[in-house]
A and B are shown apart, each in its own frame.
Chain A
Amino acid sequence: MKALDTIQPFIDHLDNVFVFKAGKIHTQKLKAPFDQIKVGSFDDLTEEALKTLKNTILKDYEGIDEALNASTYTTFIQVPKGFESDEKLYLFFLDGNQTEHIHLNLGSSSKFNVFEYHLDDAAGSKNILETITLGAYAHLDMASLSAYHEDSKVTFNRQGFFQEKSDATITLASLGDETLIQNTHLKLLGFQAKTELTAIALTSKKQISTIKSTIEHNAIESEGELNHYGVANDESFLTFEGMGKIEKGMRQSKNHQHNKGVVLAPKARLDANPLLVIDEFDVEAGHGAAVGRIDEEQLYYMMSRGMDKKTSERLIVNGFLHPLDRYLSEDFKTHVQNLLIQKTQ
């Protein structure tokens, strides 16, 4: 099924939506106040704006020039200062075979909810660079789902830059069959900046996925929480590499990391390598990892109520997706359920 056909039923129900097909705006629907949000390519930005971007929020972005030059397509999303809505903006990316650069920029004191869905029509090599910047006091609630073709090779490089007292909850879920490298590096740059990053991955068949997430504390009293949830099936290999990094002098910072994983098949493999790099004494930090087979007692309990082993396992595995629940509307839930069923059979 073509990616556009997959998402079309959802788009009809949505008020605020963009569909980007191979980097170009394919569908656009915006209702107030979302009509204040500016979306365009980097070409749409003034020379001055681009220069400012490069000298400020993008200055820490490693290889920005290469990224911009290599990007076949760039999408710049500017949420204006003080923007506030409890509604969501839906962004669908039907990725082609190229480098895509997405830049999401939240103006100070804005409150923004966004839901991204990345998928593709045909197998290929995809490279997605995404920067997320939050101005002071900005608040972001973001979910990003991806489901790519089995023969695709996909690299996500996400970087986040958070200013003073900004707060971002970011949930990333990889539900496709692609070979995946997902790097996420969030930098807490402003006083009391805060983030909660959750990465969920389901792997099956001979898929190899590496999920690398880093929260870097470059500010006093910054808080980071990192969660990895994984399910590995068949002969797949899933790796989580989580890092909490607190720089010297960033006192009263907090960093916590949790890894939870289930291995469904004897040949499947799931590694979780949590790491803490701390250069300051006055901090609170910790990490934990629990990876193994499905708990036999839980399985027995559920089966004793009449559901077969497969269904019980699926319900338990489904539980790993619960951080996603609040982002999903009913029709999306069904869609995600179906992806899950395919992956865990």
Chain B
Amino acid sequence: MTTLEIKNLHASVDGKPILQGVDLVIKAGETHAIMGPNGTGKSTLASVIMGHPRYEVTEGSITLDGADVLEMETDERARAGLFLAMQAPQEVPGVTNSDFLKTAVEAHAEERGEPFKIFSFIKEYDKALTELKMDADVPERYLNDGFSGGEKKRNEILQMKLIKPKIAILDEIDSGLDVDALKIVGENVTAMKGDGLGMLLITHYQRMLSYIHADIIHVMMKGRIVKTGTTDLMKKIDEQGYDWIKEELGIEDERVGVEVKEPTFLEPDSLADAFKK
């Protein structure tokens, strides 16, 4: 059974520490959700798992079925079974969606020692386009070039459907999606759960979680997972926000890597009441 194990993960960007000891285990068939306000390190965790060159791991480990993920290049991580649906997918003019995806699927087939079958690829591509209610001209268009926010997100899920990862991380897949699109994405992602896919959903609203059911909910603050629970935790966050967690844990500012700027001059507005007494 596929297991992604993250132990005491510390990572920094430009020398600034962001992740400060993340522990997380995701097994095949499980869906985890990481929630938390903006700026707490959620997306950094996703980028570090996938090996974004900007982030430096300073401590801890990530393993996939025992194999050291941190030793792998980004493409090796992908071929090992990791997938990240990105928050802001890149636009690559000049490279068509079909060429891009064909090359990716080919690389995965080669890794598994299987022949790449072009006709089943085309068939699957067409099927996925229909299931995600995407335009038929998407394959010929350039990769995400001129796509709307919603189209880009659907294109991420489309790639995921064809690449068939073992563990998928969906980073804010709900942002930029209207309710109809969210429903379509939710259905497509849920359908993949049946194949033993392990998933990590990253979001700061619980909105997405009404379309994709998560078994385990984590809350991230200050670059760490500070609370883990089930649906009840999600409901409480939905009703009461995050402040009770901050109070419980004695956290004043949940953010990491954000410099709190001391005011360098007196705000003129702060003098408005100065002479009343």
Contacts and interface: CB of A to CB of B under 8 A. Distances in A.
Interface of A: 295-298, 300-309, 311-312, 315-316, 318-322
B74 A303 contact: yes
Interface in B45-77: 50-53, 73-75, 77
Contacts of A296: 53
Given A300-B53, A304-B83, A306-B111, 10 more contacts: A297-B90, A300-B52, A302-B90, A303-B73, A306-B75, A306-B107, A308-B107, A309-B75, A316-B95, A319-B94
Given A315-B100, A315-B103, A306 B92 contact: no
A303 B78 contact: yes
Contacts of B42: none
Interface in B145-195: 159, 163
A253 to B, nearest CB: 28
A301 B95 contact: no
Interface string B92-111: 11110001110110011001
Given A296-B53, A316-B95, A306 B104 contact: yes
B163 A305 contact: yes
Interface of B: 50-53, 73-75, 77-79, 83-84, 86, 89-90, 92-95, 99-101, 103-104, 107-108, 111, 142, 159, 163
A151 B103 CA distance: 34
Contacts of B100: 302, 305, 315
A311 B92 contact: no
6 contacts: A302-B92, A304-B78, A305-B78, A306-B108, A307-B107, A312-B75
Given A316-B94, A319-B93, A319-B95, A307 B86 contact: no
A312 B104 CA distance: 9
B99 A315 contact: yes
Given A296-B53, A306-B78, A315-B99, A301 B107 contact: no
B94 A304 contact: no
Contacts of B77: 304
A301 B89 contact: yes
Contacts of A305: 78, 100-101, 104, 107, 159, 163
User: Interface centre among A306, A307, A315, by most B CB within 10 Å?
Assistant: A306
Contacts of A295: 90
The dominant DSSP class at the A interface is helix
A324 to B, nearest CB: 11
A322 B145 CA distance: 14
B94 A303 contact: no
Contacts of A316: 92, 94-95
A321 B90 CA distance: 20
A324 B53 CA distance: 33
Contacts of A297: 90
A300 B111 CA distance: 19
Contacts of B101: 305
Contacts of A302: 90, 92, 100, 104
Nearest to A319: B94
Nearest to A317: B94
Contacts of B74: 300, 303-304
Task: Specify which of B77, B95, B100, B163 lies most central, judged by the most chain A CB atoms within 10 Å of its CB.
Answer: B95
The 10 tightest CB contacts between A and B, nearest first, are A319-B94, A306-B78, A301-B90, A305-B104, A303-B74, A303-B75, A306-B107, A322-B94, A306-B79, A319-B95
Nearest to B104: A305
A305 B160 CA distance: 9
Contacts of A308: 73, 75, 107
Contact of A309 (B73, B89, B93, B94): B73
A301 B79 contact: no
Contacts of B51: 300, 304
Contacts of A309: 73, 75
Contact of A315 (B75, B90, B95, B111): B95
A311 B111 CA distance: 15
B52 A311 contact: no
Contact of A306 (B86, B89, B90, B163): B163
Given A315-B99, A319-B93, A301 B86 contact: yes
Contacts of A300: 51-53, 74, 90
Contacts of B90: 295, 297-298, 300-302
B21 to A, nearest CB: 25
A298 B92 contact: yes
A304 B79 CA distance: 9
Nearest to A295: B90
A297 B83 CA distance: 16
A279 B143 CA distance: 41
A296 B51 CA distance: 12
Contacts of A307: 75, 103-104, 107
Nearest to A310: B75
Given A302-B100, A306-B163, A307-B103, A319 B92 contact: yes
Contact of B94 (A301, A311, A312, A320): A320
B51 to A, nearest CB: 8
